[in-house]
Amino acid sequence: MESKISICTVVDVIESLSGGTLQNGNLCMMDNSPYNSTNQGTPNLCTLCYPGQTINWTILALDVQTPVEIKNINISSSG
C-alpha cells in the first residue's frame, strides 16, 4: 500500500476538564506508521515518517456524550 499515516488521539474529556489538564493519562495518541513510531498510546507519541508523506489527524472522545475537536496543529522542531 502507498503509505499515508493516520494519527489518532483519544481524550477522556470529563477527566481533562475536571483536572484542567490533558496530562495524567487523560490523552493518548497512536498512529499506524509502518516505521515503528515510539511512545504509542501516550501523549508523547513520536510518529516516524518520511519527508513529503501525508499525515491525517483524528480525535476521539472516550465518552460519546463529550465532543472534542482539534483546534490547531503546530509543527515545531523538537530539541
Residues at the contact surface with other proteins, assessed by CB under 8 A = 1-4, 6, 8, 10, 12, 14-15, 18, 24-26, 28, 30-32, 34, 40-42, 54, 56, 58-60, 62-64, 67
Q: How far is the CB of 73 from other proteins (least distance, A)?
A: 15
Q: How far is the CB of 39 from other proteins (least distance, A)?
A: 9
Give how far Cα 8 sits from Cα of 18, 27, 69, Å: 23, 11, 12
DSSP three-state, residue 14 = helix
CB nearer other proteins, residue 2 or residue 75 = 2
What burial class does residue 43 get, using C-beta atoms within 10 Å of its C-beta: 0-12 exposed, 13-18 middle, 19+ buried?
A: middle
